[in-house]
Structure formats: C-alpha cells, structure tokens
Structure 1
Amino acid sequence: MTELTHRLPAIIDALAEQGWVVVDGFLTPAQITALRVEGERRYAAGEFHRAGIGRATQQQIRDDIRSDAVRWLDPIDRQPAELPYWANIEALQTELNRSLYLGIHEGEFHYAHYPAGGFYQRHLDRFRDNSARVISCVFYLNEDWQDTDGGHLRLWLDAEGQAEYRDIAPQAGRLVLFTSERFWHAVQPATRPRWSVTGWLRRAEV
C-alpha cells in the first residue's frame, strides 16, 4: 500500500465537502524532478504549442487571456518519468469513482509552461456545450518556489467567482483538485518561468 493510498480517504472527503483540496507531496522529490526534466526536454525539442481558449473549431489564441504553452501527455506512449504521475492519478480516479460515483472514464493532461510574466485570466474549466470535465487537476513542478515569486493559482470560493478567493502557491509536489464546473480560477503572473502538469478527470462524452 502506497503512502498516497493512506491519504486518499481524506482527499476524497475534502472534495466531497468543499469541492476543492490541496494535496502536498503527491510525488517524491526525485519523481518531481524527473517529470519537470521531461517537460523541459520536450519544450527544448519544440514539442509545445501556444495554448488556446474555446473548444474544437472554436478554439483561438488570445494573448490577452492566456500566455502559456502546452504539450499533451500521451496516455498510450507514457514516458518513464510520467509513470508515477499516471499511477497516482489513476489511483485517485478509482477512489473517486468508488466513493463518489462520479463516473470518471479517463484523464487528459498536459505539460504547461508559463514564461516569466505569463498569466491566465479568470475562467471556468467546463465548456458550456460539454460536461465531460469533472475534476480539474493542477500539479506543480517548481522547485524552491518562494511566495514572492508570484504565479499563484487564484481559486474563487464563492459561486459567482467575484469575492472570496484563495491564492495557492505553485510549489513543487503540490496537487490542486477542484470540481471543473464550479470554481472560477486564474493564474497570476510570476517573476520566473512556471511549470505544471494540468488536466482533467473526465466522463465519457455522449
């Protein structure tokens, strides 16, 4: 039984009660470093592309809304550095389905690289015409991150996404989970480049 397995009940309880949870130490320091190095390798190889907004044919690049570049993880061709992340995410998915009957079918995830000064304006993760995204997952790869470096995830806790919020620092090993349809959120600018693996646990599309 892994260390994460012991923590899963508390993680599930927090998601059920408040709809969001911060999980530190989701991977070991060595696993985090390997995952970031893999992302950096792919970035240097030119495998990233500018992230857009919208879905399918409606997607567009908007520099005024977001400034990150992404590279999707391949769920079939998994690189060695990605295996611990997949294993823990799939354990989480299994427990969410068992405990909360969410009907999660799969996960889709990408490396995200924000340059210094990069940002993503306030938004919801669930598309208006598609309800497949159930749980949003943001896992940070930024070692030695200081609060003064910025780059926080701002998660609004009120239903309107206007008043009450929590700022969450993008520290290495930290996983943030929240229900995709409910929580408005934004990425604040940082003074240094910022790395994460971001994505969603999804229901099957109908």
Structure 2
Amino acid sequence: MESVYEKIAAEIYEKSYAIIDDFISEELRTSLLKEQSDLLEAGKFRLAAVGKGEKKQVRTEIRNDQVLWMDPEDLSPFEMHYWEEVDKVRMAINQRCYLGLKSFEGHFARYPKGSFYVRHLDQFEQVPYRLVTVIIYLNDSWEQEDEGMLRMYLPKEDGSEEILDIMPKGGRMVVFLSGEIPHEVLPTKKERISITGWLRNID
C-alpha cells in the first residue's frame, strides 16, 4: 500500500503539487499551535520581509504577515517531530523525482486578520536552492467565510492558468514546486497560522 509520503511524491511528479488532509495528528497540530501562541506572546515574531541579503526589506503592500524562523539546531520536541515527518516527504520526493533535496528550512507564519501576501514565486534569483514548498496549517477551525485562501495559479499547456483556491484547514499539508507555481495568500478575515518551509538542494 502506498504511504502518504509516496502519494505526495507521486502527485508532485504528475502535477507539481499535492494536498494532503490530516497529515499530522491532531495532538501534534494543537501542540504546535500552542507553541506558536506562546512564542507570539513572548514577542518573538517579526514582520515578514521580502528579498534576501542587502535587498531584504519589509514591504507591507506586498505582504504583512509575521514570521518566526525555526533553528534546526534548537528545535522543540514538537518541531522536531514535524521536521522528521517533512524529512520523510523529502526522501520520498527524491526517490520519485530525483530532485537532490538535502535540507529543510521553515518558519511559523502568522497572518493577523486583514493580512495577505500578493502573488509571488518562492524560488527567485536570491534563493535558487528552494525547490519544494511545504506548508502545514495549524488553525483550530476554518470556514469559507473566513477567507484567507492559498490561491495557486497552475500553468496549463496552452499558456493560460487554472486558479485553485485552498482553504487553510488545520492539519492540511500543501506541497508544490517552488519555481513553477505562482501563488498568493488572499486577505484573511481571521488569524491564520501555518508552518511554511522549503526543501532545498543545499545543506
């Protein structure tokens, strides 16, 4: 029987993205959500920036979410558990797609009510090593009227695009090729929490 990791790899190979519900246990989801809440209360989050290095800057007209990067050398037990799950995804994708993925980087992402991130690609000139985007949603509940969808623009063979809106439902994992699928976070009417990260071809 095909494992969930193999299913993700097969869908990445076939259509460049995969959506898996209940990827993590409810216990792990609520633990990570509480950890995020405690870190937020401790003042650890910062406004997200765009660009890299000298070009890095906060531009709230492009994105106005808040992030807290995770330190791979200093992960909490819950973060470590999630990291291990993502590593199984990494190995399955390597086995199926030969992408040479070596490592993962990630951060907690908090979108306060009213925040958004305009259309963009996760792989750009300064970060060519980001090959696969991996998102896990931690929200307790989400309804259509809460909005805040992840909108993906899927390229079609005729040059047009198909729009796919994904609800940030707790426990849902979204995986896609960072350099191939433009996407945005539509304005949210409720606080929206995830761990967003990238599988990379560097250590």
| TM-score, normalised by the number of residues in structure 1 | 0.93
Q: Secondary structure at the match of 2:3?
A: helix
CA distance in 2 between counterparts of 1:163 and 1:7 reads: 28
Unaligned runs of 5+ in 2: none
> What is the aligned length?
202
Is 1:77 the counterpart of 2:77? The answer is no
Amino acid at match of 1:171: K
Per the alignment, residue 3 of structure 2 pairs with: 6
Residue 186 of structure 2, aligned match among 171, 185, 188 = 188
Q: Secondary structure at the match of 1:189?
A: coil
CA distance in 1 between counterparts of 2:159 and 2:18 reads: 17
- Please report how far the alpha carbon of residue 8 of structure 1 lies from its aligned counterpart in structure 2 after TM superposition: 1.9
What does residue range 41-190 of structure 1 map to in structure 2 within 5 Å? 41-158=38-155, 163-190=161-188
Amino acid at match of 1:189: P
- Please report how far the alpha carbon of residue 83 of structure 1 lies from its aligned counterpart in structure 2 after TM superposition: 2.4
Deviations 1:150-180 (A, max 9, x none): 1100000026997421000000000101100
The answer on whether the counterparts of 1:27 and 1:84 sit within 8 Å (CA) in structure 2 is no
Per the alignment, residue 23 of structure 2 pairs with: 26
Per the alignment, residue 199 of structure 2 pairs with: 201
The answer on whether the counterparts of 1:20 and 1:177 sit within 8 Å (CA) in structure 2 is yes
CA distance in 2 between counterparts of 1:102 and 1:88 reads: 18
- Please report how far the alpha carbon of residue 137 of structure 1 lies from its aligned counterpart in structure 2 after TM superposition: 0.9
The answer on whether the counterparts of 1:122 and 1:185 sit within 8 Å (CA) in structure 2 is yes
Determine what percentage of the aligned residue pairs are the same residue: 36
Moved more, 74-83 or 110-119: 74-83
- The structure-2 alpha-carbon separation of the partners of 1:44 and 1:19, relative to structure 1 and needing over 3 Å to count, comes to same
Amino acid at match of 2:53: A
- Please report how far the alpha carbon of residue 120 of structure 1 lies from its aligned counterpart in structure 2 after TM superposition: 0.2
| TM-score, normalised by the number of residues in structure 2 | 0.94
CA distance in 1 between counterparts of 2:5 and 2:146 reads: 30
Unaligned runs of 5+ in 1: none
The answer on whether the counterparts of 1:114 and 1:193 sit within 8 Å (CA) in structure 2 is yes
Q: Let me know the Cα RMSD of the aligned residues.
A: 1.8
CA distance in 2 between counterparts of 1:105 and 1:10 reads: 20
Is 1:17 the counterpart of 2:9? The answer is no
